[in-house]
Structure 1
Amino acid sequence: MYYIGYDLGSSSVKAALIDAKTGRSVGVTNYPEKEMAIIAVETGWAEQDPEAWWKNIAKVTEKLLAQTSISSNKIKGIGISYQMHGLVVVDKAGKSLRPSIIWCDSRAVSIGNDAFTGVGEDKCVSNLLNSPGNFTLSKLKWVKENEPELYEKIDKLLLPGDYIALKLTGEATTTISGLSEGIMWDFNQNKPADWLFDYMGISTDLIPTIVPTFSDQGRVTKSAAEEIGLPAGIPVLYRAGDQPNNALSLNAFHPGEIAATGGTSGVVYAITDSTVTNESSRINNFAHVNYTIDKPRIGKLLCINGAGIQYSWMKQNVVSTEDSYNDMNNLAGSVPVGSEGLRILPFGNGAERMLNNKNEGASIFNLNFNKHNKSHLLRASLEGIAFSFVYGIEILKNDGVNISAIRAGNDNLFRSEIFSNTIATLVNTNINIMDTTGAIGAARAAGVSTGDFDTLNDAFSENEHVMTYHPLKDKKAYTDTYEIWKNDLENKYNN
């Protein structure tokens, strides 16, 4: 028997099958191969059609079953991971009323900022562990203000993963973790933040039924089964946003454990048991997948927009078109630590929350035309991105995180020895690189709900360990260079 996991991103849907006995992956694929369209009617807007997500769920299921030659009748449960912070609104029939306002849409920034001031910053920080920000509830307030006739037809507000679960089961449900990512959960009162809904003029009746993250969340209906090719009656067993799910996939559940990703943007997601924050304006705090009222597990999320996109820019504009990322890493390795004085701030991909939403672009310092070449630019690029991760981890430490372990997926940035060694050395913590995906994690999590895996650790003990980066003994060159880079950063963004 097998579990299937879906990972709904903004570019594609990934799907994985895992063996219910061993937890081993037997197949992973994605659909579509060409990125899903993002609708931008106005500058700063970003929308997607929820029905397109559902159609792609059907396509990726068909593709995965054909690829693995596994009968759908052997699938015993479903796990769902999804792009966070999006808004889907549906009517009483469960039909979406408008395109989803997704995670990277910025239209509700001012609404969230006004609410932060209007209800009181202290109350937001102590109860929500966040400012209302440009998150799901603020987006719904935008719909209320700008599309009142449509708003009156809304029966439930959903996150993207909630919508997929609705399409599968016919039941509108959500989770505490999901409500926290939409900044709708009050951690002090252990219930939805009705006072914030009241301030926004939104009825809490729009909140769907709350179900545990690991639980039988409904069964696949006959009509859904006909559409996607899975047997009717199998349960949806797990649901979580992509960053909590990524941490789950990397076996990060306990205080002090960090899950990191180094894609176009970078993410540091740290687990803590504290429901207090000092850094609510620079990081976000969400209920982790194993959060309970008795044993709170909070994921402190720090996002760095200007991460891998900078190294990608170097690939497109600095090196030869034939050069691979591995070739670039080798060129960077020919230059000593510190890039002979060349330094780069990588923040050129929009406003950076950890820099208090400053958006002043990337910067190059101390470029010497008689000394520096493309190898120096590549090393300074990798060092600058690594330094931004270290700077972010310092913010997390200031917010009470005591680091015990860092785990990361086997992506381009973490394959670079320069990048990973720099972080490991400056943070003085091993970095374990694991070969897994969000879809595999969601599938394994489904097995936790049924008891096929006794504990979360059992479910993820079969992750393939790729390698470990250890802190280097000779740290002086790294610490000296980082302090100069940090001085550049604070002089630029604090003035």
Structure 2
Amino acid sequence: MLLLGIDIGTSSVKVSIIDADPQQIITSAQYPDEESPIIALQLGWAEQSPDMWWEQTLQALSRCHSTGKYNPADIAAIGIAYQMHGLVLVDKNQQVLRNSIIWCDSRAVEYGDKAFDAIGHETCLSHMLNSPGNFTASKLAWVKENEPEIYARIDKIMLPGDFIAMKLTGEITTSESALSEGIFFDFKNNAISEHVTGYYGFNSSLFPPVRPVFSSHGNVRESVAKIMRLKAGIPVTYKAGDQPNNALSLNVLNPGEVAATAGTSGVIYGVSDQLGFDPQSRVNTFAHVNYTHNLKRLGVLLCINGTGSLYRWTKNLFGAAVNYTQMNDEAGTVPLGSDGLRILPFGNGAERMLNNKLVGVHLHHIDLNQHTRAHIFRAVQEGIACAFRYGLDIMRENGMNPTIIRAGKSNLFLSRLFTETFVNVTGVPVELYKNDGSAGAALGAGIGAGIFASPAEAFSNMKPIDLVEPVSKSMEPVYGEWKALLDRELLIN
């Protein structure tokens, strides 16, 4: 029996076909080959076209089909993972009303700050476990005030994965996990937050029906099935944001378990059974994929907006002749500490862990007679690892003290240098797995469809491929200098 997983990323869409019995990937494909554009009409803005995501999904699936390694008619269920916090708006005919305001867009910070003060800090944190911040609810408030003609035509609001499910099935649904990531969910009352909707003036009719993450979110329409070469009626049985889904794909489902990723953004995501919150909302708490009213499973999320995106920017800066493998190799020729070069990696929008400040990327202590591009490559990796340490210390303040972190061997964790720098500066071992967001979404579909009796069964064949442990505290002086530079920038901002 086959499962289809779709991962709607910022850079591309990736699709995987999984054989459910051995839990093995038959084939995967992504589209496009180059990174998708982000539309920035103003400084700090970030938008993408939902219709672009749909076209990329079709193209990626077509690439999988073209391998001839499976019969598409054997696909039994579909799961979807997606970039979190994006706002998608459709009218009553399910037509997109504007580009999606995506996760790294900063325009709504002021709206969230005002809501936090007006609703009350204690009320927001105890009920929503977060400040409204720059999340989906605040982005919708921006549309309401600045684009009233579009707001008036909204039939339903969605997150990116909800949109792809709608295109597949014609149905629009959401989940408590999705509502919580948009700061629409009241954990005390287990309902859509009346504090948020009342303050912003949102009508409850804008929200789709709420269903469990692992459940039916509609069946593939016949017209779509023909285009995608699938059987009509296949159920969509799983939808989750990319970070809860990454945790699922690493079998991180129970209190104390922690996952990390270093793709476009960098994330540490730990599971808790406590309705806790950071008083400054620098790290955020959402309903995990297995959250229920009776069994609390919360995902505590630290996000650094510009990790892989900074490494990509650095690669592009030095031209098409350099690739990531070369960058990693060259970085390894430079001594620890990059001969004094320091980089703050915060150039992709307002950073939640820095109280929603727009700090930007900074290069410090450049020596024109000493530093080469290899120094920059290493300093970028060290700067990103230091940012992870800074955020992990905030999580530790809030009671999350991981003894081991699970990560997929992908993106920056493909670099042995980065992985070793990460574990040495954080002091936490990293267990590496062959994991993939689209594969995780496929296995999630198997759980939602009842093909697997439990998540434990879905990941029964998953084994680590490497363990990297701390061997030195030599990054401590580097981190101390890095943090002092960040503290100075925060005072200026």
| Alignment TM-score, normalising by the size of structure 2 | 0.91
SS of 1:465's equivalent?
coil
Aligned to 1:133: 133
1:164 maps to 2:148: no
1:52-451 to structure 2, matched below 5 A, reads: 52-317=52-317, 322-368=321-367, 373-451=372-450
Range with bigger deviation, 246-255 or 340-349 = 340-349
Q: In the aligned structure 2, how far is the partner of 1:364 from the partner of 1:39? A: 26
Q: After the TM superposition, which residues 6-85 of structure 1 pair with which residues of structure 2 at under 5 Å, given as runs?
A: 6-85=6-85
1:255 and 1:402 in contact (8 A); partners too? no
1:422-475 per-position Cα deviation (integer Å, ceiling 9, x unaligned): 322343322012222111110011111233323223323434633221111x42
Deviations, residues 352-387 of structure 1 (Å, cap 9, x unaligned): 322223334334444555665554444333222211
Q: Which amino acid aligns with 2:399?
A: G
Aligned partners of 2:3, 2:177: CA distance in 1, in Å? 22
Conservation of the 8 A alpha-carbon contact between 1:279 and 1:395 = no
Which secondary structure state, in structure 2, belongs to the residue aligned with residue 403 of structure 1? Answer: coil
The one-character-per-residue Cα deviations of 1:384-419 (angstroms, maximum 9, x if unpaired) are 221111111111111121213212222342233332
The SS at the match of 1:261 is: strand
Task: Report the 3-state secondary structure (helix = DSSP H, G, I; strand = E; otherwise coil) of the residue aligned with 1:388.
Answer: helix
Say whether the 8 Å CA contact 2:186–2:193 is kept in structure 1. yes
- Residues paired across the two proteins, number: 492
Q: How many Å apart are 1:34 and its aligned residue?
A: 4.5
Q: State the alpha-carbon separation in 2 of the partners of residues 70 and 466 from structure 1.
A: 27
Other-structure match for 2:484: 487
Are the aligned partners of 2:385 and 2:425 in contact in 1 as well (CA < 8 Å)?
A: no
Contact conserved, 1:245 with 1:289, CA < 8 A, in 2? yes
Q: 1:349 Cα deviation (Å)?
A: 3.8
Say if 1:25 and 1:425 are closer, same or farther in 2 by CA, change over 3 A. same
CA distance in 1, matches of 2:180, 2:323: 40
Q: Which residue of 2 aligns with 1:458?
A: 457
Secondary structure of the structure 2 residue equivalent to 1:210? coil
Distance 2:17 2:378 in 1: 39
Equivalent-residue separation in structure 2 for 1:12 and 1:365 (angstroms): 32
Closer, same or farther in 2 for the Cα pair 1:420/1:193, shift >3 Å? Answer: same
Q: 1:430 and 1:91, CA in 2 relative to 1: closer, same or farther beyond 3 A?
A: same
SS of corresponding position for 1:302: strand
Amino acid at match of 1:468: L
Q: Is residue 130–residue 278 contact of structure 2 (8 Å, CA) maintained in 1?
A: no
Can you list the C-alpha shifts for 1:242-263, whole angstroms capped at 9, x where unaligned? Answer: 1111111122212222222223
Give CA deviations for 1:250-285 in whole Å, capped at 9, x if unaligned.
222122222222234322222222211124431222
Note the C-alpha offset of 1:84: 1.5
Deviations 1:43-98 (A, max 9, x none): 44433333333333333323212224422221111101112112222233333333
User: What residue in structure 1 maps to residue 5 of structure 2?
Assistant: 5
Instruction: Report the CA distance between 1:314 and its aligned residue.
Output: 4.5
Separation of aligned partners in 1, 2:49 and 2:431: 37
Counterparts in 2 of 1:158 and 1:432: CA distance versus 1, 3 Å: same
Q: Which amino acid aligns with 2:476?
A: T
Equivalent position SS for 1:294: coil
Any conservation in 2 of the 1:436–1:463 contact (CA below 8 Å)?
no
Query: 1:238 & 1:305 partners in 2: Cα distance?
Result: 26
Alpha-carbon distance, 1:184 to partner:
0.2
CA contact under 8 A between 2:237 and 2:445: conserved in structure 1?
A: yes
Give percent identity, aligned residues only. Answer: 48
Which residue identity is paired with 2:107? R
Pair 1:332–1:221, CA change in 2 (3 A): closer
Pick closer, same or farther for the CA change 1:312–1:98 going to 2, 3 Å: closer
What displacement does 1:350 show? 3.9
Change in 2 beyond 3 A, CA 1:68/1:112: farther
Per-residue deviation, 1:326:
3.5
Q: Normalising to structure 1: TM-score of the pair?
A: 0.91
Go from structure 1 to structure 2 and tell me whether the alpha carbon gap of 1:33 and 1:428 turns closer, same or farther (over 3 Å shift): closer
Change (3 A) 1:380 1:195: closer
Distance 2:99 2:368 in 1: 50
SS, match of residue 77 in structure 1: strand
Does the 8 A contact of 2:278 with 2:284 survive in 1? no
Pair 1:494–1:146, CA change in 2 (3 A)? closer
CA distance in 1, matches of 2:45, 2:426: 37
Q: Mean alpha-carbon deviation: is it higher for 436-445 or for 289-298?
A: 289-298
Sort the Cα spacing of 1:147 and 1:391 in 2 relative to 1 into closer, same or farther, 3 A.
Answer: closer
